[in-house]
Amino acid sequence: MAKIVVALGGNAILSKDASAQAQMKAVKETAKELVNFIKNGDQLIITHGNGPQVGNLLLQQSAADTPENPAMPLDTCGAMTQGSIGYWFQNAMREELLDAGIDKDVMAVVTQTIVAEDDPAFQNPSKPIGPFYTESELDDIKAIHPEWQLIEDAGRGYRRVVPSPKPLEINEYRAIKQIVEAGIVPIVSGGGGIPVVKKGNQLIGTEAVIDKDFSASKIAQLIDADKLIILTSAGGVFYNYGKPDAVELKEVGIDEIQKHIDANEFAKGSMMPKVMAATDFVRTTGNPAVIGALEDVKRIIAGEEGTTIVSEDVAMVAK
């Protein structure tokens, strides 16, 4: 039985409709795909992003902020979205498993991720959260939220950015290992985990959002996963993405892909963190990582789709 960590983007959960009902429907469709890993005999560990959800929650908090009912800070909003998305996934996965004749427990774990207080990311916000804005909306948004920093996000519009420190450790990883060993499907490190700084015996929440791909890589390393799979709407990894000479990678060694990382050839707000996180997992463990599309799960399991990053210095590409 292979232990597989699957990382899902927050945009895979949120459709254009931000209502709870619409997101639960999206999670249910995602669960239908994820159950295929369990049908294949794998031990599944699910982690997910929360960028759109935490951004929307912050907007709601800001709109209702009063002295009597103050807005919650970013770390607490991260915990709140971990709970809500974990709740949706827990129920959706359990229902799909039972429909498939599989009686297996599913458990969401509120997860804290330890970061360094002096991480340079705190001086250079880069993690997009919340909804996309058009260029014509920027002046109004800046007038309402002058403290926000906004950047263009991979050609999809403008988004708010917040600090994104690197994960040093997953605080609950020992408990997660026990859950996995018990055969339970855990939903962990939602949104990359709640970013906390360790001071003595205290864990102190901080205003940041951890990239879920780096967090997924870290938890996969800590629980001795056999494979890390990062599912994305963009599918596999391409050289020269979006250009006439684009080439999709099918299998690539870490030394080969590292050259392209060093040359900044991948989009910073989308594919770059996925490739970096996958490469770090492969380099640390020697086990493979896959980047592919959610709708291709069955073919990814069969080894027919997605980009597989391996420790050997090989590169097989298909146009």
212 flagged as catalytic: yes
243 flagged as catalytic: no
pLDDT in tens, 208-230: 999 999 999 999 999 999 999 99
Q: Which of 78, 193, 274, 287 is catalytic?
A: 274
pLDDT in tens, 265-287: 888 778 999 999 999 999 999 99
Q: Which of 3, 212, 218, 227 is catalytic?
A: 212
Residue 306 DSSP symbol = S
What is the token pair recorded at 306?
A: 């997605």
Contacts of 71 (CB under 8 A, 6+ apart): 58, 61, 62, 64, 65
**Cβ 293 vs Cβ 306: under 8 Å:** yes
What is the token pair recorded at 34?
A: 């994820």
- CATH number for the region 3-116+167-318 comes to 3.40.1160.10
**pTM reported for the whole predicted model:** 0.89
pLDDT in tens, 3-42: 999 999 866 777 678 899 999 999 999 999 999 999 999 9
Which DSSP helix (H) or strand (E) runs through 93?
Answer: helix 74-99
Q: What pLDDT is recorded for position 313?
A: 56
10 flagged as catalytic: yes
**Over residues 164-185, mean pLDDT:** 97
> Token pair 């959960």 is at which residue?
13
Residue-averaged pLDDT of the chain: 91
Q: Which of 10, 49, 51, 192 is catalytic?
A: 10
What residue ranges do the domains of the chain occupy?
A: 3-116+167-318, 126-162
Share of the chain above pLDDT 70, in %: 96
**Over residues 149-162, mean pLDDT:** 85
Q: CA 114 to CA 122: how far, in whole Å?
A: 14
Q: CA 57 to CA 52: how far, in whole Å?
A: 9
pLDDT in tens, 69-96: 898 999 999 999 999 999 999 999 999 9
| Distances in whole angstroms, Cα of residue 141 to Cα of each of 62, 64, 92, 131, 132 | 13, 17, 35, 11, 11
